[in-house]
Amino acid sequence: MQHIFIELWKYKDAWRDAGVDARQEYAERLAPMVASMTAAGVEVIAWGPNDPSVDLRADFDFFGVYRLPNRELFERLQAGIAASGWYDYFEHVNAGGTAMSPPAVLGDNIALAPPRPSPEDISPVMTGERRTTTVDGLGMSTVTLGEGRPIVFLHGDVGQAYLWRNVLPYAAQAGRAIAVDLLGSGESDKLPHSFDGAYSFRTQYDYLSRLLDALGVTRDVVLVGHDWGANLAFEWAKDHPGAVAGVAHTEAVTPPFEWDDWTPPMIRPMFRTMHSDEGEAFQLGDNQFVENIRMGVLRSLSETELDVYRAPYRRPGEDRRPPLDWAREVPLGGRRPETAALVQAHSRWMADSDVPKLLLRAEPGALTAGRRLDLLRTWRNQQEVAVRGVHWPSEDDPHGIGRALLTWLEETVGR
């Protein structure tokens, strides 16, 4: 997980008094230390003088800015600077922490939230066995980790199995964790003939159902879903009540579907665009719905992570159709009445069913807020755990999700 470290410094008398030879000797001793940290993965973005014309200039004459891939290196860099004797020669102040998105920090500022320690590291690497299963002539990709009871992970909108990479190791302690790339997403095939609505909820559900049958996932199944993936889980549970052992969900699409209920407000203009005639240019042309994943993540995603999410949609045109169809399936403003009826039906089933449920409520959250949260809290036999995140909590708090999921699996769902 990306960290940023910033230092500001100016000369102490000890540096001025050391003499040119001593200063040169000290700089030469620093060189291998800097090379060692660079080789370990510390990126020196820049060193430079603090321009006297800077507005509200800090009273320091030089700056250094570093980018680090994880917390371990973040701490090692600080320890190395202290051990080098640097602070003996320079007045110094430091700032740093997890690289976050501007909306996330502004949200904390609005709420007067105090600074938080950097969270646990989030790996950009997915582990597990990847395999492809043919469903009606199309390849559907899955990643599996662990053995035993099937625990199926489902993504929504612009996601893919990769979304769950840091959660799977926790679930694998309780069963066979299977993360699915839905049709047209991740490493799964796309439809040979695509059009507006080709990747409808019903089409995705039909392919998913046949995939689970092909994988032998037919009994004692736990489903874990995000966004539309949660709704796919609800629909499958409704249709297979004797086969489902539990459903965990986060940021599901649930009623009501009025524009004023769609939160946070900053995403409404994007969804209005996606629901308009401009949606094709916005997504099929510019891939903006995928690029805007960063709006729903608190931390700053690395280029490595972003490239995985971009990979299925590199080619403009119909290859970029699945995220557009998912956005248009949300029945806002009376659109998609058949989808609205379907969502209402499986939401009623979930509310009345005794199947064990786990609501992973994102804070500050996006879809799980207001009247939708009120509705979710009426569901029977449901536990609720708060996790950090806007719309993609498994990218912000996967360890919190993993621990909550494992506890729920062991203590509530049972073996």
CATH of the domain at 134: 3.40.50.1820
Residue 65 structural domain: 3-99
Nearest to 230 by CA among 50, 400, 367, 97: 367
Q: What residues are labeled active site?
A: 227, 251, 391
Structure tokens that stand for 332 in this block:
């806002």
* Same structural domain, 70 and 154: no
Q: In angstroms, rounded to a whole number, what is the distance separating the alpha carbons of residues 212 and 218?
A: 7
Do the domain assignments include residue 114? no
Q: How many CA atoms lie within 13 A of 188 on its CB side?
A: 31
Do the domain assignments include residue 121? no
* Same structural domain, 86 and 200: no
Q: How many CA atoms lie within 13 A of 361 on its CB side?
A: 16
Do the domain assignments include residue 38? yes
Do the domain assignments include residue 118? no
Do the domain assignments include residue 22? yes
Terminal-to-terminal C-alpha distance of the chain? 33
Domain CATH number, residue 25: 3.30.70.1030
Whether the CB-CB separation of 43 and 3 falls below 8 Å is answered with: no
Q: What is the CA radius of gyration of the chain?
A: 25
Identity at 326, one-letter amino acid code: W
Number of domains making up the chain:
2
Domain boundary among 78, 99, 120: 99
Q: What is the pLDDT along the chain (415 residues), one digit of tens a residue?
A: 889 999 999 999 999 999 999 999 999 999 888 889 899 999 999 999 999 999 999 999 999 999 999 889 999 999 999 999 999 999 999 999 999 888 788 888 888 988 877 778 899 999 999 999 999 999 999 999 999 999 999 999 999 999 999 999 999 999 999 999 999 999 999 999 999 999 999 999 999 999 999 999 999 999 999 999 999 999 999 999 999 999 999 999 999 988 888 777 778 888 899 999 999 999 999 999 999 898 889 998 989 999 999 999 999 999 999 999 999 999 998 889 999 999 999 999 999 999 999 999 999 899 998 899 999 999 999 999 999 999 999 999 999 999 999 999 999 997 6
